Structure 1
Amino acid sequence: MTIPISAGTTTDLPADFREAMAHMCAPVTVVTAMDDERPHGTTVSAVMSLSVDPLLIAVAMATTSESLSTIKRAGRFGVNVLGAHQQHIAMRFATKGDDKFAEMPWQRHNAIPRLDGSAIWLSCRLDSILPGGDHEILVGAVTEVETDSSAEPLTYHGRQFGTHTVL
């Protein structure tokens, strides 16, 4: 059911939408892929579990993303869900630039860059790509999962980093 917005309640719907989305708590992930011998990665908060049968994950990436182009060529990608101690990594991969992996602890794992110390690691084969406005939605078939159950995940809410607190 769609709830209509009465005329005049929103003066700038796109700005109001961005503000509302800033207040949705999201895990902080770095999505990675290899382009020949060069690793690529970008910070992404639009990641979700899609299916258990088959194992699928969805990742939304800006159509202008260099990492998106790399994933399309490579046909595989990694999802590194960062731990609360990895804010500096989230910031590093949120910027543009060629050398995000310099002096960054990582390893090549089944032809995909894997960041050391991540709370969760998913290795994915690109299954399909769906349109999503100024983003594309990558559907990845999960081929490997590792979880560090002792690591608190890094979250993003209200334009700030934090972590989940159990009540």
Structure 2
Amino acid sequence: MGNLVAGLNVVTTSAGGAPHGTTVSGVMSLSMNPPMVLVSLGVRSRLLARLAEGARFGINILAADQDQVALRFSGSTPDRFADVPWFEDHGAPRIVDAHGWVAADVEALVPGGDHVIVLGRVIDAVPSAGAPLSYHQRTFGTHHAF
């Protein structure tokens, strides 16, 4: 699967009065009508444990220069949000200067092997200019047009 190029995102939620987030490559658009997204989380994900049907979550589409943010949220750092500028948007943590932002509500949690597929109904989406962060064969990069 290392030959697949993936965009990198930090998926976030607020639970118990605190922000929570993790780096995720398994994110995609699911439907335009109604607007929906799909997020794939491992069954042992600490973030998954905080999501239930109806919960609000955010997808921070990382910008090309946010590789350190991707690493921070993929590791075992206790306070992943320390030193990462963010603010609350539509009830979910939004990382400053992310390439894009999607806020969604959990519609369903679908088992998929050692992962759970989170189906989310989009509440808000904000694109931005610039280049996204990508990951290919364990290397960070970005997209360049031909």
Counterpart-to-counterpart distance in 2, 1:125 and 1:56: 9
User: 2:85 aligned with 1:101, yes or no?
Assistant: no
Identity among equivalent positions (%) equals 38
Structure 2 unaligned regions, length at least 5: none
User: 2:125 aligned with 1:145, yes or no?
Assistant: yes
Counterpart-to-counterpart distance in 1, 2:54 and 2:20: 11
User: 2:94 aligned with 1:92, yes or no?
Assistant: no
Q: RMSD value over aligned CA atoms?
A: 1.2
The one-character-per-residue Cα deviations of 1:16-65 (angstroms, maximum 9, x if unpaired) are xxxxx111001000000001221000000001111001101000000101
Greater Cα shift, 83-92 or 70-79:
70-79
Q: Is the helix fraction higher in 1 or 2?
A: 1
Paired residues, number: 146
Counterpart-to-counterpart distance in 1, 2:18 and 2:53: 13
Structure 1 residue 73: deviation in Å? 7.4
Which residue of structure 2 aligns with residue 159 of structure 1? 138
The one-character-per-residue Cα deviations of 1:44-99 (angstroms, maximum 9, x if unpaired) are 00011110011010000001011111122771100001000100000000012330
Structure 1 unaligned regions, length at least 5: 1-20
Q: Is the strand fraction higher in 1 or 2?
A: 2
* Higher RCO (Cα < 8 Å, 6 or more apart): 2
> Given the two structures, how large is their TM-score scaled by the length of structure 1?
0.84
Partner amino acid, structure 1, of 2:137: G
Larger Rg: 1
